[in-house]
Structure formats: C-alpha cells, structure tokens
Amino acid sequence: MSRPARHAALTGVAVWCALVLLAGCSSDADSDSDADAKGTPVNVASAVCAKDASAKEVSLPAGFPSDFPMPPGTIVYAADDRGKDGIVVTGVTETPFKSVLAALQQDLPAHGYTPEEGETEPHDAESNWHSAGYTGRWAIREIPQCSGQTLVNVLARANSAASPSS
C-alpha cells in the first residue's frame, strides 16, 4: 500500500473511531445526566430532599430575576453564576410534580414570562421562556428518593439591554 493510501485508510479509521465514541457519549447525554441540552443541571440522582435542603438554603443571587415565580415552597440550595451564559439556581419543593408544573404554566405568564418550546413527560418537564429583561429555561423532575418532592432548576440570562436587577 502506498504512503498516501495508507494515510487515507488510517484517517478513515480514526474518523470512524471518533464517530463511535461521540455516538456513545451522546447516548449518555440523552439520559439523566448532569445537564440538559441548554446547560441546566437536572441530575435527579444527586438531588437534595427538602429536609436536607433547608440547611443548605441560599438566596437568589444578584442578576437572577427577583420576580421569577419559583414554584410554591421551593428551597433554593444551589446557585451557579455562569457569567454571560446566565445563572442557574437549583431547588427542591415538597409540592408534587403535577402541581409544580401547573403552577409554572400559570404563574410564569402572569408575571410577564412567556413560555416557549417546552415538553412534558410523566416525571419531568422543561421549557424555554423569555421576559422583557431575561431569557432562560426551567426544568422540573420528580425525585424518586424524596417521595412526592420535585427538583426545580431555572436558568436565567439577562438580555443584553436588561439591567441585572430586572
């Protein structure tokens, strides 16, 4: 085999291996991983139950919309400022999943947050949203190890013309 033919064959094998590895990674990413396609943490396996979240409770950080209607009883126990990518807050509520979903579907529009591109499954739901000052995504999941409790994740990113306190 000539040197150019050998190089082409090796390149083809390398590309095939890379595709196989990427396909394996994408199937893992489609499962309940550390982040969904928009970067919102959703790992139910590491979710904190409400009884433990109280000791870890944090305030909503500056730059997160103070009027965002978090679901009833949500205890925010983590906040991650990702700079220009926004702020992610994670919390838990003892409110059952279906009630949390109904509250978000009703309260967001009532507070000026327009839902878009969402999906609902039996044990989880998510939706993008936007307001005059922010764009973002919420995701909720039933927490199997915390009977009847719901994991709540919200990503909020200030629009370029918005002030951080909107």
For 44-158, CATH number out of 1.10.3470, 3.40.50, 3.40.720, 3.30.310 equals 3.30.310
Angle at 147 between CA 144 and CA 148, to 5 degrees: 100
pLDDT digits (tens, 9 = 90+) for 38-95: 444 457 777 889 999 999 999 999 999 999 999 999 999 999 999 999 999 999 999 9
Task: Residue 137: count other Cβ atoms within 10 Å of its Cβ.
Answer: 23
**Dihedral sign, CA of 76, 78, 83, 84?**
negative
Task: Indicate the length of the chain as a whole number.
Answer: 166
| pLDDT band at residue 32 using 50, 70 and 90 as cut-offs | very low
**Chain centre to alpha carbon of residue 125:** 10
Confidence tier at 163 by pLDDT (50, 70, 90):
very low
Residue 50 is encoded by which pair of tokens?
């409400």
Tokens of 99: 């009630």
pLDDT attached to residue 45: 75
d(CA 91, CA 53): 8
DSSP conformational letter for 32 = S
77 neighbors 53 (Cβ within 8 angstroms) = yes
Q: State which H helix or E strand residue 44 sits in.
A: none
- Rounded Cα–Cα distance for residues 16 and 160 (Å): 41
d(CA 10, CA 27): 26
pLDDT reported for residue 42: 52
The answer to whether the predicted template modeling score (pTM) of the entire model surpasses 0.75 is no
Q: What's the mean pLDDT when you consider all of the chain?
A: 78
124-144 pLDDT per residue, tens: 999 999 999 999 999 999 999
